[in-house]
Amino acid sequence: MPFVKVYLHFVWSTKNRYPFLNSKDLRIKVWDHIRENAKSKGIFIDTINGHTDHCHCLVSLGADQTIQKTMQLIKGESSFWINKSELTPEKFEWQDEYFVVSVSESIVDKVRAYIKNQEDHHKKKTFQNEYEDFIDKYGFEKYG
């Protein structure tokens, strides 16, 4: 049996960054569902949180899990569940794009705190600003 601990910070937004997740109660319900669904599929979500138009997850991937499949399972099932449960007045969708960066064991606690602090963080900075900071910080290519 392999022993694997690879932490990744996943971030993705709602379709067109629409503020579908506009109440704290709704966000908590969605994050709890994502965590439980992921657990049932063998995906370990260490920390999950977000704001009205996006989600952050700190995930520890297993030996046989890929980034693409993990995102597909998390995003696809959660949007289906949100719509089936009629949690939003309009059809809910996640944006196709996402970004993922590796997280060193030495800063896992810092990333956890960052994710947990999304409510306060977004009182000072929009998701668009956060997104641009991530693109610049990690050297991703900007498109469009």
Can you name the residues that pair with 54 across neighbouring β-strands? 13, 51
Instruction: Quick: pLDDT tens for 113-143.
Output: 999 999 888 888 888 888 888 888 888 876 6
Asked if 78 and 93 count as a contact pair (C-beta separation under 8 A), the reply is no
Annotated domain spans of the chain: 6-138
Global pTM reads: 0.90
Q: What is the CA radius of gyration of the chain?
A: 15
Identify the CA nearest to 60 among candidates 7, 113, 11: 7
CATH class belonging to 6-138: alpha beta
Task: Specify the pairing of strand 6-14 against strand 94-103.
Answer: antiparallel
Instruction: Quick: pLDDT tens for 45-83.
Output: 999 999 999 999 999 998 999 999 999 999 999 999 999
Can you name the residues that pair with 14 across neighbouring β-strands? 94
pLDDT value at residue 61: 92
pLDDT value at residue 144: 52
